Structure 1
């Protein structure tokens, strides 16, 4: 699987606007954040990850992958909501996943088409689906669509890393500074435990 591409240009920019994060960049080799093989697989994983620990989400996702072999809209529909529940997916999330799968099959939601749209259009389209919020869309933009300027101020790991470096700073101000390489800043902030 490929990793999110971190460029030297992005590292130089982040280092020039945040001296504390520059020290982290100098200390760590380029973090390797896996990309998903498809946008659909990514959104399923992100829905599962909503508001639960990474370990729990990984367990659930692994069970689903073992059952389905491949995460596709057709396989999700064939699996059914009850089987998703049996894998540990709560009813609400299972319904959201099923609705997204059905929309993909019906072609009312085409991930290949939306991948080429501006980010604000992608957000508008996906947020129309119940159970899909800003965080889920931001993670899709990073880990499936490889967008370079995503900085989720709602993400627990990003906030944790940011406030360890900048206890009294305004995270939204730094989001502006990091642009147009917010994703690279995000990836490094996730590394700070």
Structure 2
């Protein structure tokens, strides 16, 4: 049985986390429940996540919208007919052009089947996706969380989540990734929803 969150159980999971973690409880008390961030299971969603690698969310969305204007519908076939110049005009770097094309080819060839991922365990989805050029663990984490709604992912490569974690818990700035992963185990089997609470805090709390 896959461990997923849904609109029906999301607030219940938030409450369960608040019951075991006073810091997460205070996030809910101060800022309310986080949004249930989600995206459809589509090629466009994965392209969007690739575009979000190492840039601001606003920059990535701007590139996605430009791409959508250019091809109307972001599908593997539509993207593969674009020239380098057309992709550059949509704010894609040379690296990201390569990654998007590689993903498009993998889907068209049947190497990757997004629908099949719906019923696959997290580690199998991860193994298939990280085999593709330009897709690392952060990209897979966001896909598992936002698209497949898997409930127990902690994206240790996400700077916003890590910084919020340190602030909420009053941790030293030098706290290592390994230490954070160990601390996040307290939130199992709902680390995704705990991370959404951290993002909610990051976006809502006054910046220091």
Listed as ranges, the matches of 1:8-27 within 5 Å are 8-27=11-30
Whole-Å separation in 2 of the counterparts to 1:35 and 1:4: 10
Contact 1:47 1:97 (8 Å CA) reproduced = yes
What residue in structure 1 maps to residue 105 of structure 2?
Answer: 102
- List, as ranges, runs of 4+ consecutive aligned residues in structure 1 with deviation greater than 6 Å: none
Whole-Å separation in 2 of the counterparts to 1:8 and 1:49: 27
Listed as ranges, the matches of 1:164-175 within 5 Å are 164-168=167-171, 170-175=179-184
> Does 2:192 correspond to 1:187?
no
> For 1:39-68, what per-residue CA distance to the aligned partner results, in whole angstroms no more than 9, with x for missing partners?
322210111110111121121111112222
> For 1:70-90, what per-residue CA distance to the aligned partner results, in whole angstroms no more than 9, with x for missing partners?
221122112344322221111
| Structure 2 SS opposite 1:21 | helix
Contact 1:65 1:71 (8 Å CA) reproduced = yes
What residue in structure 2 maps to residue 119 of structure 1?
Answer: 122
Q: Which moved more, 1:46-55 or 1:69-78?
A: 69-78
Contact 1:151 1:182 (8 Å CA) reproduced = yes
Q: What is the TM-score of this pair, normalised by structure 1?
A: 0.90
> Does 2:136 correspond to 1:130?
no
| Structure 2 SS opposite 1:154 | coil
CA RMSD of superposed structures (Å): 1.9
What residue in structure 1 maps to residue 56 of structure 2?
Answer: 53
Q: Shift of the alpha carbon at 1:120? A: 0.5
Q: Shift of the alpha carbon at 1:114? A: 2.0
Q: What is the TM-score of this pair, normalised by structure 2?
A: 0.84
For 1:91, which of 84, 91, 94 is the aligned residue?
94
Q: Shift of the alpha carbon at 1:108? A: 1.2
Contact 1:39 1:140 (8 Å CA) reproduced = no
Q: 1:52 to 1:164 in 2, by over 3 A?
A: same
User: Which stretches in structure 2 are left out of the alignment for 5+ residues?
Assistant: 203-208
> For 1:134-175, what per-residue CA distance to the aligned partner results, in whole angstroms no more than 9, with x for missing partners?
000010111111111111111011012111112327321232
User: Which stretches in structure 1 are left out of the alignment for 5+ residues?
Assistant: none
Aligned length: 191
